[in-house]
Amino acid sequence: MGIIKYIKLYFRLVSAGVRAQMQYRFAFIMRIVGMITAYTGTAVTMWVMLYQFQQLGSWNFYEMLFLFAFSILSWGFCIILFFHFRSLDTYILNGTFDRFLVRPIHPFFHFMAMKFDVASFGQFIFSIFVFIWVSGVLDIGWNVEKFLFLIAATIGGVLIQGGLLVMISAIAFWTTKSEQFYWVAMYPARNLTYYPLVIYPKVIQWIIAFVIPFGFVNYFPVSVILDKDVPFFPSYIGYLSPLVGVIFFTIAYFIWMFGLNHYKSTGS
């Protein structure tokens, strides 16, 4: 099937997924409200902390807020596109995953297109509000280049976080359950990105840069946008974010396909 056909089919499947989700309006709205509340809570915590210290590793409250909002923005897109992978283990457990293997389209694509989680509006509302507010306070000096970089870095962040979701889901091909790994890898990695990496010990910074490259989700690119120093790392490292995203996601995809092949020979 050609790429155009796939794109058309993607939108068909996705719109079906959205309509299915809209069947449960109340749950949908509550999730948006819940997300905004939760993130605002984290932001307030930051404020309380910074009220005492004024600065955290040379980052002030508004800069940190920008860093936080940047992480939430790409996470919002990531949820829309890739969150369905988090339920892969349930499909495998129930035996419903086999359905994707008796259809004449690519299983990775098919699985990804089955759900389009529009409830991440909460993330968008929160992060866009914060961007506008903080841009007014900080002297960011927005121009076309910076804005394009923001978009490219967001794509990078989406691919990095999506890649990790895909990798974690692939574990289910071997172990049947993978939910725990979400809490072991995804949750802590995302939480680390809420604060500037510079405050962490060197080892953790190194892991977040090169093992689970969540530093590229927000810390490195935001340092470029806000013109901040990134100690221990080359100053251009933030620009690599989109590239790291593409590479990391590609690796994730191949791991997933490798897992699928394993599944096909064991059928766990």
Partner 1 sequence: MAIIEVEHLHKQFKVAKRETGIIGALKSIVNREFITKEAVKDISFSIEKGEMVGYIGPNGAGKSTTIKMLTGILVPSSGKVIVNGLVPYEDRQKNAKNIGVVFGQRTQLWWDLPTIESFELLKEIYRVPDSLYKKNMDIFCDILGLSEFLNTPVRQLSLGQRMRADIAASLLHDPPILFLDEPTIGLDVVAKEKMRTFIQEINREKNVTVILTTHDMEDIEKLCQRMVLIDHGQKVYDGDILTVKNRFGTSRTLIVDVEENGKELQVRGGELIKEEGNRKWIRFNRFEISASEIIHQITRTHNITDLTVEEPEIETIISKIYQEGFKEPVIQ
User: What is the distance, to the nearest Å, from the Cα of residue 83 to the centroid of all Cα atoms in its chain?
Assistant: 9
Task: Please pick, from the candidates 3, 48, 102, 144, the single residue that binds partner 1 as defined by CB under 8 A.
Answer: 102
Structural contact between residues 246 and 158, judged by C-beta atoms closer than 8 angstroms: no
Ranges within 245-264 binding partner 1 (CB under 8 A): 264
Task: Please pick, from the candidates 7, 27, 33, 101, the single residue that binds partner 1 as defined by CB under 8 A.
Answer: 101
Q: What x-and-dash track marks residues 9-28 binding partner 1 by CB under 8 A?
A: x--xx--x--xxx-xx----
* By the rule CB under 8 A, 227 interacts with partner 1: no
Which residue's CB is nearer to partner 1, number 94 or number 143? 94
The span from the CA of 145 to the CA of 141, in Å, is 11
| Nearest distance from C-beta of residue 36 to partner 1, angstroms | 25
3-state SS record for the chain = CCHHHHHHHHHHHHHHHHHHHHCCHHHHHHHHHHHHHHHHHHHHHHHHHHHHHCEECCEEHHHHHHHHHHHHHHHHHHHHHHHHHHHHHHHHHHCCCHHHHCCCCCHHHHHHHCCCCHHHHHHHHHHHHHHHHHHHHCCCCCCHHHHHHHHHHHHHHHHHHHHHHHHHHHHHHHHCCCHHHHHHHHHHHHHHCCCCHHHCCHHHHHHHHHCCCHHHCCHHHHHHHHCCCCCCCCHHHHHHHHHHHHHHHHHHHHHHHHHHHHHHHHCC
Which residue's CB is nearer to partner 1, number 85 or number 97? 97
* By the rule CB under 8 A, 146 interacts with partner 1: no
* By the rule CB under 8 A, 2 interacts with partner 1: no
* By the rule CB under 8 A, 176 interacts with partner 1: no
Strand partners, 55: 60
Which residue's CB is nearer to partner 1, number 8 or number 177? 8
Q: Taking contact as CB under 8 A, which single stretch among the options 92-100, 152-160, 203-211, 247-255 is the one that binds partner 1?
A: 92-100
Which residue's CB is nearer to partner 1, number 142 or number 258? 258
Of the candidates 111, 117, 113, 119, the one whose C-alpha atom is nearest the C-alpha of residue 91 is: 111
* By the rule CB under 8 A, 106 interacts with partner 1: yes
* By the rule CB under 8 A, 177 interacts with partner 1: no
| Nearest distance from C-beta of residue 12 to partner 1, angstroms | 5
Task: Please pick, from the candidates 99, 227, 232, 235, the single residue that binds partner 1 as defined by CB under 8 A.
Answer: 99
Task: Please pick, from the candidates 104, 145, 202, 211, the single residue that binds partner 1 as defined by CB under 8 A.
Answer: 104
Task: Please pick, from the candidates 52, 54, 94, 143, the single residue that binds partner 1 as defined by CB under 8 A.
Answer: 94
Under the rule (CB under 8 A), what is the footprint of partner 1?
1, 5, 8-9, 12-13, 16, 19-21, 23-24, 94-96, 98-99, 101-106, 110, 264-267
